[in-house]
Structures are given as C-alpha cells and as structure tokens.
Structure 1
C-alpha cells in the first residue's frame, strides 16, 4: 500500500470522526440557536449525504443509457416516494426495489 494513500485515509477518517464526535461533546448551551456554528453543524449532515451520493453514483454514470436506466429509475423512485410519504425508510426500500426490478429487466 502506498504511504500517501494510508495518510489520506487517516486524515479523512480523523476528520469524519471529529465531525461526528465533537458536536456531541461541545457545550453549545450558550450559543444562539441561529448562530454560525449551529448553521454549520446543521448543514454538515446533508452535505455528507450529498457527498456520499455523488461518490457512489459517479462510477455508474456512463454514455450507455441502458446501463444507467436502473440508477435513474431508483433515484426517481426514492425522490417520488419521499415526496409522497416523507419517510426515509419507505423511500429507500422503494428505490432499492425499483433499481432491482429495472436491473433485472434490462
């Protein structure tokens, strides 16, 4: 294994740990609810989810529409079910089911 890859993994892992652990240990009782730190911490979760989504989807994106059909159908199912039911669990299950069904058909 390359030393720079190991160093990068340790740095990213340490930052990930800090973003998850430190907000639970910081005393934020004196902070204003609409302060800069509160807004930063509130934005960290959605930003992490968006980053993981892009990192997961990017290798699947290609010029072949037949190979991208399951991905597109699954993403549309997740968005549609979440907009309809406001349930992350149901949206995730629907997206997985639609992705699997379209993958089996294509």
Structure 2
C-alpha cells in the first residue's frame, strides 16, 4: 500500500471517529436549544443518512429500466410507508421488502 493512501485513510478515519465520538462527549446542557451548536448537531444525523443513501444508490442507477425498477419500487415504498405511518422502522423494513420482491420478480 502506498504511504499517501495510508495517510489519507488514517486522516479520514480519525476525522470520522472524532465527528462521531466528540458530539457524544460535549456538555450541551447550558446551550440554548436554537443555538448554532445545537442546530449543527441536529443536522448531522440527516446529513449522514443522505450521504450514505446517495453513496449506496448512485451505483445502482443505470440506463436500463429493468435494472433500476427494484430501486425505484423500494424508494417509493419507503416514501409511501413513511408518509402513511410516520415510522422510520416500518418504512425501512417495508422498503427493503418491496425491493426484495421487485428483485425476485424482475
């Protein structure tokens, strides 16, 4: 392995660790709920989920509809179930089930 790749992996790994670990150790009891730090920490969860979703879904997007159909069906299932029940757990499980069924049918 090249030294520059190893150094990059260590720096990114260290920053990822710090980004996940340090907010759990901050004492936010004296911070106003609408303060800058509280808003930043509240936005990190959705931003992380959106980043992981984009990184996971982009390789699956293709020009052929038959290959993209299970992805579309699963995403529509997640959105529909979340809109119906307002439950992230049910939406995730339902979307995964719909995706699996669509893969089996295609």
TM-score past 0.5 threshold = yes
Q: RMSD value over aligned CA atoms?
A: 1.3
* Count of aligned pairs: 106
* Separation of aligned partners in 2, 1:77 and 1:94: 7
Q: TM-score, normalised by structure 1?
A: 0.91
Please state whether the residue corresponding to 1:46 is helix, strand or coil.
helix
Structure-2 residue corresponding to 1:15: 15
Aligned residue runs from structure 1 range 14-93, under 5 A: 14-93=14-93
CA separation of 1:4/1:65 partners in 2, compared to 1, >3 Å: closer, same or farther? farther
Cα offsets for 1:60-104 (capped at 9, x unmatched)? 111111100000100110111111111111111111111111111
Task: Compute the displacement of 1:9 (Å).
Answer: 2.5
Task: Identify unmatched segments of 5+ residues in structure 1.
Answer: none
CA separation of 1:2/1:72 partners in 2, compared to 1, >3 Å: closer, same or farther? farther
Task: Compute the displacement of 1:41 (Å).
Answer: 0.4
* Separation of aligned partners in 2, 1:12 and 1:4: 12
